[in-house]
């Protein structure tokens, strides 16, 4: 592909968004995910300290989010593909375990 063809494809994909706007959206998603994980960690610690037990539904939602994120990275990026696949598989197994725990199968 020539430079002009690559630029045209990029314009089609980004639909009137500039590179800075895309970067801001990506960074915003990362910050939101980090904030979610911090809040969930606080809930998790509170549940352990107070002896209330854990809420598998809440944690399965987080686990599936992480499984999808690493799965998508494994598909789209070649860098660290093996690690992304492994991480996605681990998060997927955790998701399945939490869902089964929620429905009292485990």
- The pTM is what? 0.66
Tens of pLDDT, residues 18-37:
778 778 878 888 888 888 88
Return d(Cα 89, Cα 81) in angstroms, integer. Answer: 12
Tens of pLDDT, residues 48-90:
889 888 889 888 988 998 899 889 989 988 888 999 999 999 9
Compute the half-sphere exposure of residue 16: CA atoms within 13 Å on the CB side of its CA. Answer: 0
Structural domain spans, the chain: 1-52, 55-106
């Amino acid at each position: 592909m020539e430079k002009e063809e690559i630029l045209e494809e990029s314009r089609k994909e980004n639909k009137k968004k500039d590179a800075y706007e895309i970067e801001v959206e990506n960074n915003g998603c990362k910050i939101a995910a980090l904030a979610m994980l911090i809040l969930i960690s606080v809930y998790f610690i509170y549940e352990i300290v107070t002896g209330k037990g854990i809420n598998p539904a809440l944690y399965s939602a987080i686990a599936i989010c992480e499984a999808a994120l690493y799965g998508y990275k494994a598909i789209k990026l070649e860098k660290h593909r093996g690690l992304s696949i492994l991480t996605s598989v681990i998060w997927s197994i955790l998701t399945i375990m939490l869902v089964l725990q929620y429905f009292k199968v485990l």
